[in-house]
Chain A
Amino acid sequence: MIRDDDLELLAKAKEAGLLSPDEITDDELVPEDEEFIRLALAERIQHVILFTSFFTLVLTGIPLVFPDAPLLHKLFFFPESFWLRGIIHRVAGVTLMGVGIFQVVYVIMSPHGNRDFHKIIPNFQDAKDALNLFLCNLGLREERPRFGKFNFIEKFEYWALAWGIFIMAMTGLMLWFKEASIALFPIWVLDIVRIVHGFEAILAFLAIIIWHMYNVHLNPEVFPMSKVWITGKISKKEMMEHHPLEYKDILRERREKLEIERVKQLLEEVKQQRPSS
């Protein structure tokens, strides 16, 4: 981050005409082969644990949603198999809840996570972006919306996931500790909890399979797969195309940094020249 007094200094210098506005080109600021960090290592690890536990939960939960599928019956061929399914489901559930809790701590404690969290908070602009992109795709509007670090699709996924994990964790825990729940609530509440857990699971699964899979796998642009989840990096080209507002911010920040350096250098030169003259 640039200090405020440096920015003041820069403003004064510009006012005094010390710097010519186009002295530094964009290409000088960002080399052609530069790659930008999109996901930090901690985030990539969270993502891996998240999707492995997610799919484990889906696989071990499917039998409860489609108990009549004959193929599933073949999977439960030994007497303890259904019990084992329950154990695996719970282990994966605890893992997923662990990721959720870690994410909360991460966005509060880690500077990187905290800064990104502020960028992922949804606002009215996201709704406008969604509508505009849709209209633009249909050819009803010329200009495509320009996105920052997180576009509305990514924000939606993030918050849908957060909401989903919260609901699934709450209902899941109630069903897991059914004796405690039944001591607190009448049995019909648990019936609703069971229904919610099932439907929310279907919703989460379909959302991931359709929405997330399209955006990061099947989309012709990234097919067969965007590698960001592994490398955590995106190219300058991708940055300019998909996150122009973020790119603009990066450029501005770097330009200001350079300009401040130049101003300081100039001041230093002036200081050195003055005693000699």
Chain B
Amino acid sequence: MARTKFVIGWLVLCMVALTADSAKAVSSEDCLACHEDPSLANEQGVLLHVNPEIYQASIHGESGIACTDCHIDLADVEEFPHPAPLTKVDCSMCHDTEFEDYKKSVHGEAFVAGDSAAPVCSTCHGKHDIKRASDPESSVFSLKLVEICIKCHTDTKIVAEHNLPPPEKIRAYENSVHMKALKEKGLSVSAACNDCHGSHKIKPPDDPDSITNRLNLPKTCAKCHQGIYQTYLESVHGQDYLKGNTDVPICTDCHGEHSIKSHTSTESTVHSTHIAEICSKCHEDETLGKRYGFAAQRLKSYLGTYHGIASKMGDTTVANCASCHGYHDIRPPNDPKSSVHPDNIPTTCGKCHPQAGKNFAVGKVHVSEARESSMGAYVVEKFYTIFITASIGGFVIFIVADLYARRKKAKRATAAKKEKESTEEGSHTHD
């Protein structure tokens, strides 16, 4: 009996050992025995080659992850070639937090719903060649990531089927200051797609949880532009933003989104020649004007000045809205910290007009030639309008009278000539 028990125990041990042995039986070397062959392909002609060097250099290769750790259904295979197709690799086995984020994202939702065009882990990260995102060799490293996103988002078929933003909008990024910094300057910290949209958790901007949602976007930009964010929060716009106001301009309303350019570029929406346009999008808007009591005719009165005209003609040295009001730090004029507070006007104007004194604050800057706005300007304009009309009218009347007299004289002269001729003829016949 004891002997039987021993035999059974030994057998069980052996089996366990055998099972364990059989689990280890398929090693990465076993896989490579076939898959190292560059010409290895299945019946459909799909290449099944795995370059061992590339895999060894990958983050998983470096960490000693074996083939069957991901391709779990091959762990027990004893016969080779093993049956195909294999079960899809499930990254969530290890990367569960990332997968949870992904599932909630616009891409993950599509994947769960069975959308074949939905990007999965490997679409962005690769397969056997996966590298750490911070590794410059990684496909999702900031300098390379854009290429991956752009591939699907400029694919007209995918865009049309999924009602995605037009490819032009996406491609506009390629000429942006962020892309320029990445590509031309090689500045890896410049914003790539994921910096603004997120990576695993990408959501459409109308989702309140999206980092590109109106109420979150300034914080997203602040990840890099923190100082400006703080200045903005203190401004008249930022104060309302903090209250959850959605009318108030956020970063992208002035700077643009994908197309964002350096403010020194003439194409920039905030280039000195375009500032007036951008500000008047809201400040000349009737509805917003009524809602927030904007001072009327700011743009018109600006465009009528030398500053406005010169700016329109492309002069970049003249004052625009931002030169006086500031940009990120705009404050209402009654705020003592405002650049257009009466006490600060000499300093503000003095930026360009060094000898500017108190006189700059005496009188209005936004002058319209209306009686209520500026009596002097109104009177002078009225006077000249009347004076010019009267003078020109006088000239014209005088000229018309002169032409009339000349015509009469010419007629009389021809009549006299004819009469003379006819009398001469008459005298001839008489002879």
Residues of A within 8 A of B (CB): 63-64, 67, 72-73, 76, 79, 81-83, 85, 134, 136-139, 175, 178-180, 182-189, 191-192, 194-196, 199-200, 202-203, 206-207, 210-211, 214, 219-221
Chain B at the A interface: mostly helix, strand, loop or mixed? helix
Interface residues on B, range: 35 or more
Selected from A182, A200, A221, the residue in CB contact (under 8 A) with B360 is A182
B303, B362, B385, most chain A CB atoms within 10 A: B362
Residues of B close to A178: CB separation below 8 A: 353
Contact of B384 with A83 in the complex, beta carbons under 8 Å: no
Cross-chain contact A179 with B356 (CB below 8 angstroms): yes
A-B contact count (CB 8 A): 124
Question: Is the pair A182, B355 in contact by a Cβ cutoff of 8 Å?
Answer: yes
8 A Cβ contacts from B389-431 to A: 391-392, 395-396, 398-399, 401-406, 408
Bound-complex Cα distance A219 to B357 (A): 53
Contact (A196, B380) CB under 8 Å given A73-B313, A139-B405, A180-B355: yes
Counting from the closest, the 9 A-B pairs by CB-CB distance are A188-B363, A186-B362, A199-B384, A137-B405, A187-B363, A137-B401, A179-B355, A82-B315, A67-B309
CB within 8 Å of A: which of B312-346?
312-317
With A179-B354, A182-B355 in contact, is A188–B313 under 8 Å at CB?
Answer: no
A82 touches B314 (CB 8 A): yes
B residues 354-380 with Cβ under 8 Å of A? Answer: 354-357, 359-365, 367, 369, 374, 376-377, 380
In the bound complex, what is the Cα–Cα distance between A183 and B350 (angstroms)?
Answer: 11
Pairwise interchain contact B388-A192, C-beta atoms closer than 8 A: no
- How distant is the Cα of A252 from the Cα of B53 in the complex, in angstroms? 120
- Check if A136 sits within 8 Å of B376, measured CB to CB: no
The reply to whether B374 and A138 form a contact with Cβ atoms under 8 Å apart is no
A54 CB to closest chain B CB (Å) equals: 17
CB pair B313–A81 under 8 Å, yes or no, is yes
User: Complex formed: what's the CA distance from A184 to B381 in Å?
Assistant: 23
B374 and A191 contacting across the interface, CB-CB below 8 Å: yes
- CB contact under 8 A between A186 and B306, given known A67-B312, A207-B395: no
Q: List 23 A-B contacts (CB under 8 A).
A: A67-B309, A79-B316, A82-B315, A83-B315, A134-B401, A138-B404, A139-B405, A179-B355, A179-B356, A182-B355, A182-B357, A184-B359, A191-B363, A191-B367, A191-B376, A199-B381, A199-B385, A199-B388, A200-B384, A206-B388, A207-B395, A214-B402, A220-B403
CB-contacts of B23-73 with A (<8 A): none
Inter-chain contact B360/A138, CB cutoff 8 Å: no
> Do the beta carbons of B309 and A63 come within 8 Å of each other?
yes
Which of B357, B362, B395, B406 touches A188 (beta carbons < 8 Å)?
B362
